[in-house]
Structure 1
Amino acid sequence: MGAFEVVRSTTIGADARVVHALVNDLHLWTAWSPWEDIDPGMERVHTGSPYGVGACYAWHGNRKAGAGSMQITSSQPERIELVLRFLKPFSTTNEVWFELLSVAGSTVVTWRMRGATSGLMSWLSPVIPMDRLVGRDFERGLAKLKKVAEGDPSPTGSP
């Protein structure tokens, strides 16, 4: 098993409370998550708290979307922590967190995921590191989060 960490950051021209609300409510992830458009027919189930600690989101989709769940385990103004469990296409559990730093009317958002590769992924990771597999998704998600937080109503940012 090999450990990995994927980290991406961006600066969003919005108050940290706006960004926090978009991350802290799993219902709102459909507006910015980079994986929401992989399978338009994906089944989504929300349980637990409506937002914050205890909020849970499970999905089951096509081969690309896979199946899994996430749960918010800690929610502070400057940091939101989640446990991310994948069931398909492979089984694994990862730690995910968002750090929010207010800087001169903007928010620096850092999205991190940490875990360990096992099974087939442990064989593939030296050739295709997890950062390469997931890093671009984080970049797309942060770009979408930025557009939503800054008030751009179009999903692509165009008029």
Structure 2
Amino acid sequence: MKFVKYFLLLIIVLVGLALIYVASFSGSYDISRSKVIEAPINHVFNTVNDIKTWEKWGPWHDEDSTIVVTYGEKTVGVGASDSWTSKDGPGKMETIAVVPNKSINQKISFADNDPGDIYWYFEEVSNGTKVTWGMKAKKSPFIFKFFAAMSGSWDNMLGPMEEKGLNNLEKVILETIPSQQE
């Protein structure tokens, strides 16, 4: 019986230490990934700028088949928006700034949490377009910090998702490059 008491006490102490660790884990992050896609900059930019294309390349759709997306009145450019529900809860995103063929800035929020920032940069390079996808926030809810802490870092949690998304984006773009007229 003593063993069970000490074992339960040990479990309580470990859970308490884990909660303290997660609570002290930084809620601030700025994670980005880049990829060169062998396609014209305007095609890459236009694909990302139209949020209706995100269902084709967004990495989260591969992992959660319960996502249901609803689009706002506008789906391209400043003011474009969507919202979704899934087994993990609701979310929404809105495009807040666009510089054609250069950058896109968006706000994203999950449930009632403070919004985070999504940013995209596009750069013409010799063999196509360098596209950078980043996400940042100054503070994050406890549950997000928990998942980041369990992953070891924000980079370990978000980086692979961005990489997968950029790889999916490349496939979609290469499949939809307009044919060149002679």
> What is the TM-score when the length of structure 2 is the normalising length?
0.74
Q: 1:61 to 1:123 in 2, by over 3 A?
A: closer
* 1:22 is the counterpart of 2:18: no
The answer to whether the Cα contact below 8 Å between 2:57 and 2:172 also exists between their aligned partners in 1 is yes
Tell me the alpha carbon deviations over residues 48-93 of structure 1, each in whole angstroms, 9 at most, x when there is no partner.
Answer: 3131111111010113xx3201001111120011001111xx8341
The answer to whether the Cα contact below 8 Å between 2:37 and 2:128 also exists between their aligned partners in 1 is yes
Match of 2:61 among 28, 36, 50: 36
Match of 1:151 among 162, 171, 175: 175
* 1:108 is the counterpart of 2:130: yes
Where structure 2 has 5 or more consecutive residues not aligned to the other structure, the ranges are: 1-25, 178-182
The residue that corresponds to 1:72 in the other structure is 95
Cα distance between partner residues in 2 of 1:42 and 1:85? 15
Q: 1:41 to 1:3 in 2, by over 3 A?
A: closer
The answer to whether the Cα contact below 8 Å between 1:15 and 1:105 also exists between their aligned partners in 2 is no
Q: 1:25 to 1:124 in 2, by over 3 A?
A: closer
Cα distance between partner residues in 1 of 2:37 and 2:87? 32
Q: 1:42 to 1:8 in 2, by over 3 A?
A: same
> What is the TM-score when the length of structure 1 is the normalising length?
0.84
Cα distance between partner residues in 1 of 2:37 and 2:144? 33
Report sequence identity in percent: 26
The residue that corresponds to 1:156 in the other structure is none
Cα distance between partner residues in 1 of 2:57 and 2:69? 15
User: Which structure would you say has the larger RCO, counting Cα contacts within 8 Å and 6 or more residues apart?
Assistant: 1
- Which runs of 4 or more aligned residues in structure 1 lie more than 3 Å from their structure 2 counterparts after TM superposition? 120-127
Cα distance between partner residues in 1 of 2:66 and 2:148? 30
Root-mean-square deviation (Å): 2.1
Matches for 1:69-148 after TM superposition, within 5 Å: 69-76=92-99, 77-87=101-111, 91-115=113-137, 116-122=139-145, 125-126=148-149, 128-148=152-172
Shift, 1:124, TM fit: 5.8
Q: 1:143 to 1:125 in 2, by over 3 A?
A: closer
Tell me the alpha carbon deviations over residues 124-151 of structure 1, each in whole angstroms, 9 at most, x when there is no partner.
Answer: 6455322111111100000011111122
Q: Secondary structure at the match of 1:36?
A: helix
Q: Residue 98 of structure 2 aligns to which amino acid in structure 1?
A: S
Q: 1:19 to 1:132 in 2, by over 3 A?
A: same
Q: Secondary structure at the match of 1:150?
A: helix
**Larger-gyration structure (1/2):** 2
